[in-house]
Amino acid sequence: MYSNGIGKNGTPSVAASPAGATGKSAAAGSWYANVASAWGAALDRQATKTAALAEQMNAGNDGPGVALQVSAAAHQLAFLSTAASTASNSIGQALETLGRKQ
């Protein structure tokens, strides 16, 4: 049985359960809630990484290398945030359309 998880690079990797699979996932809730939870965890990890790098700058380690790392981490966080929002909106719109067709 496949399960929802987070990839090593911090992005969610969502795999579908095979047809006819039974049993409950470790996390209670719908697959949609599991997808949202995976995105939230990825965003939390990236935000923590960005904040830790910013703390290094605040502590006086404000060289160009650290500044570049903070900037890159902030851009990654923005990318993840946009991707999570787009994915959530797309899934929601698809479910809405499916609901109207039935």
| Phi, psi (rounded to 5 degrees) for 25 | -75, 165
Tokens encoding 61: 């380690």
**Residue type at position 74:** A
Distance CA 63, CA 56 (A): 10
What are 12-64's pLDDT values in tens digits? Answer: 555 444 444 444 444 557 888 899 999 999 999 999 999 999 999 888 888 88
Nearest to 34 by CA among 8, 9, 2: 2
Model confidence pTM above 0.75 = no
Question: How confident is the model over 72-102, as pLDDT tens digits?
Answer: 999 999 999 999 999 999 998 998 998 887 7
- For tokens 């500044």, the residue is 67
